[in-house]
Amino acid sequence: MRPLSILLFIFLSPALAFGNQESDRLKSHFESVEAHLRTTDVSDWPTSKQQARKHTLDALRRYRSQARFPKNTNFSDTNVPAFFDENGNRCAVAYLMEESGFEETAADIQATQNFAWATLCST
């Protein structure tokens, strides 16, 4: 099983209703998170966990580069995140869950807790 601990760390910053300025802010945030995590020494971790971590960080880089961040049009006047938006854009946690083999769990969260904060979701 691949570690999920990175996922909650990445989602510390909310996805607000946004335009280009918010998209730029999110790209900068994810770039900073990735840079910090890539410089963290994990050499004492088992090889399998190091590889899973690298896979997740590479996925985070793709997510940032694609810049298809969800826009919560259901609660656009508040600070409520969207796990998936109406166009199928995923938040970082959902994207990384799917990239790590947890598609079913991501779909369950979308169906039952799509507008919940990641730290409040339960499976």
pTM of the model: 0.76
| pLDDT of res. 72 | 81
Given a cut of 50, whether residue 76 has pLDDT beyond it is yes
Largest CA distance in the chain: 45
- The Cα 1–Cα 52 span in angstroms is 9
Given a cut of 60, whether residue 108 has pLDDT beyond it is yes
What percentage of the chain has pLDDT greater than the value 70? 78
CB-CB contact of 99 with 70 (8 Å): no
DSSP reduced 3-state for 110: helix
Given a cut of 50, whether residue 12 has pLDDT beyond it is no
Report pLDDT digits (tens) over 90-107: 999 999 999 999 999 999
CB count, 10 Å around CB of 91?
A: 27
- The Cα 123–Cα 119 span in angstroms is 11
- The Cα 42–Cα 56 span in angstroms is 14
pLDDT band at 123 (very low <50, low <70, confident <90, very high): low
As a dihedral over the C-alpha atoms of residue 118, residue 8, residue 79, residue 62, rounded to 10 degrees, the angle is -110
DSSP reduced 3-state for 123: coil
